[in-house]
Amino acid sequence: MTATSTTSAGAVDYSTKIPNNINLADDSRVLKALEQWHPGYIDWWMTMGPEGFQTSDVYLRTAISIDPKGWAKFDYVKMPEYRWGILLAPQDENRLVNFGASRGEKAWQEVPGEHRASLRRLVVVQGDTEPASVEQQRHLGTTAPSLYDMRNLFQVNVEEGRHLWAMVYLLHKYFGKDGREEADGLLQRRSGDADKPRMLGAFNETTPDWLSFFMFTFFTDRDGKMQLESLAQSGFDPMSRTCRFMLTEEAHHMFVGETGVSRAIERTCEAMKAAGIEDPYDIAKVRALGVIDLPTIQKKANLHFSLSLDLFGSEISTNAANFYNGGLKGRYMETKIEDDHALTTAKYPVLKFVDGQIRMVEEPALTALNMRLRDDYVKDCQGGVNRWNKVIEKAGIKFALTLPSVAFHRHIGEFKGVKVSPDGKLLNETEWAKMRDQWIPSSDDGAFIESLMQPCWERGKYAGWISAPKVGIDNKGGDFEYVKIHRA
């Protein structure tokens, strides 16, 4: 994924209104288009961004370079003044189209006419997820369990805002009038809105509490990672370069999610031990300690995992085949895979629902690309779950978190509408209804978690349900004043 030769040193120009490393100052048409889009963006940020903290000083990182060793600087910033910029990974003059029918051609610097509609679609769908998550998370600041966590939330939010800029740049630069219209549309849809919802299901769900936020950044931002990884393989070079830099930031989002859940688990185990509770299923007793019981954490994981799996789309997809064949969207780690990168004859095993049974079926690999990316995603998730389980194990509590079956609680693809238990057994409606609340958070679970969501904004203090981080951000301690709160 690293460039073999680079054309720009990677310094970011902050002299224009829109910081960038793509010589925007010399591209007056695009600069003007983006400057015209800017006020609408700020308007969106003020009305749909983090509620109540727009005047607070937040210790944020801002990208100042694309050099992997020193790309960010940290300082106090009021979020509406954040320098959202357009940053692309350096261009590699020798880069090729690495898969599909055009494999071996020089990577495209302009949009090939025949792929214009498909590419625009890919940019818009990715772009739509970025502001959506900011909207979903906008109420969370008020219940932040610490200043450290509050800062992490806002960091994720401003970077999702930057990712929107990244996609809007592609629309303005490469897609003419319809690109401009799509860029405006990205500011008009709203997460969960009945008339103008965001494009994908998981981005219209609510993020009601901090455990949901951590699960979202672990599971759903990780879907984002997988999508960006496959778009980073694109033969359309500006798309590839844009996504490669986004991935740098995305890693932090998943860190926030993984460590957030991990700290909740750690606190629960610690409280159970201190109270002499051995049975993790003694839910009433555990909850009385003011911590989230492990079975409820499992339910939250079940929910967010299944919603995120839906984001991969149908297991069998001719769109995915066309995107691949066209050289637009590759596989995870495409260039590391040893095969023909054309998939003309290859097969891939797909889990399907056939004749009332869950079965593995060999399908043409080309149409099974969504399934393959999802498999890579599941492996990546499993790594994080294993690390969570180490925390439980270390505390000496007999409990292990698991990823539910990919057939569990699905709304898209093969298992849409099929009732399946987390361990992959087919159920009838009655059996499902009886067990549902054991597998997915019930309204009681939601109310309990909500009762714990009391703000804890004192410097160096953490809410009772979550432990302090091992290390802070930017080598600061857990007691650093990550947010200087001035309520709007």
Question: The tokens of 459 are what?
Answer: 């410097």
* Mode of pairing for the β-strands spanning 72-78 and 57-63: antiparallel
Binding status of residue 222 toward Fe ion by CB under 5 A: no
Which one, 173 or 252, has the nearer CB to Fe ion? 252
d(CA 164, CA 135) in angstroms, rounded, equals 13
- Binding region for Fe ion (CB under 5 A) out of 156-164, 182-190, 207-215, 331-339: 156-164
Which one, 115 or 253, has the nearer CB to Fe ion? 253
Instruction: Tell me the three state secondary structure of residue 359.
Output: strand
Tell me the Ramachandran region of residue 341: left when phi exceeds 0, alpha when psi lies from -120 to 50, beta otherwise: left
Radius of gyration (C-alpha) of the chain in whole angstroms: 23
Which one, 248 or 319, has the nearer CB to Fe ion? 248
Question: The tokens of 488 are what?
Answer: 């709007």
One residue of 221, 223, 334, 375 binding Fe ion per CB under 5 A: 221
Residues 6+ apart with CB under 8 A from 192: 135, 136, 198, 204, 205, 206
For the CA atoms of 478, 449, 226, 347, the dihedral, rounded to the nearest 10 degrees, stands at 140
Which one, 250 or 445, has the nearer CB to Fe ion? 250
- Binding region for Fe ion (CB under 5 A) out of 82-90, 243-251, 364-372, 438-446: 243-251
Minimal distance in Å, beta carbon 346 to Fe ion? 31
- Binding region for Fe ion (CB under 5 A) out of 128-136, 259-267, 366-374, 415-423: 128-136
Q: Which of 180, 201, 181 is nearest to 191 (CA)?
A: 201
Binding status of residue 252 toward Fe ion by CB under 5 A: no
Minimal distance in Å, beta carbon 163 to Fe ion? 4
Which one, 158 or 265, has the nearer CB to Fe ion? 158
Which one, 108 or 154, has the nearer CB to Fe ion? 154
Binding status of residue 241 toward Fe ion by CB under 5 A: no
Q: Name the DSSP letter for residue 286.
A: H
Which one, 160 or 315, has the nearer CB to Fe ion? 160
Question: How many binding residues for Fe ion (CB under 5 A)?
Answer: 6
- Binding region for Fe ion (CB under 5 A) out of 114-122, 135-143, 160-168, 383-391: 160-168
Minimal distance in Å, beta carbon 228 to Fe ion? 8
- Binding region for Fe ion (CB under 5 A) out of 82-90, 199-207, 217-225, 296-304: 217-225
Instruction: Tell me the three state secondary structure of residue 119.
Output: helix
Binding status of residue 253 toward Fe ion by CB under 5 A: yes
Minimal distance in Å, beta carbon 219 to Fe ion? 11
Minimal distance in Å, beta carbon 214 to Fe ion? 13
- Binding region for Fe ion (CB under 5 A) out of 218-226, 258-266, 393-401, 415-423: 218-226
* Mode of pairing for the β-strands spanning 357-364 and 483-484: unpaired
Q: Are 175 and 116 in contact (CB under 8 A)?
A: yes
- Binding region for Fe ion (CB under 5 A) out of 39-47, 178-186, 247-255, 447-455: 247-255
Which one, 155 or 298, has the nearer CB to Fe ion? 155
Which one, 160 or 375, has the nearer CB to Fe ion? 160
Please compute, for residue 132, the number of CA atoms within 13 A of its CA located in the half-sphere on the CB side: 28
Of 358-387, binders to Fe ion (CB under 5 A) are none
Q: Which of 416, 426, 227, 449 is nearest to 306 (CA)?
A: 416
d(CA 278, CA 156) in angstroms, rounded, equals 36
Binding status of residue 163 toward Fe ion by CB under 5 A: yes
Of 414-443, binders to Fe ion (CB under 5 A) are none
Minimal distance in Å, beta carbon 329 to Fe ion? 17
- Binding region for Fe ion (CB under 5 A) out of 72-80, 152-160, 297-305, 371-379: 152-160
Which one, 165 or 415, has the nearer CB to Fe ion? 165
Which one, 71 or 462, has the nearer CB to Fe ion? 71
Q: Are 335 and 98 in contact (CB under 8 A)?
A: yes
d(CA 169, CA 122) in angstroms, rounded, equals 14
What CA–CA distances, in Å, run from 467 to 145, 399, 401?
10, 19, 19
d(CA 395, CA 270) in angstroms, rounded, equals 7
Minimal distance in Å, beta carbon 126 to Fe ion? 8
**Cβ neighbours, 10 Å, residue 336:** 8
Q: Are 465 and 210 in contact (CB under 8 A)?
A: no
Residue 193 phi, psi (nearest 5): -70, 135
Q: Name the DSSP letter for residue 143.
A: G
Minimal distance in Å, beta carbon 162 to Fe ion? 8
Minimal distance in Å, beta carbon 222 to Fe ion? 9
Binding site for Fe ion (CB under 5 A): 130, 160, 163, 221, 250, 253
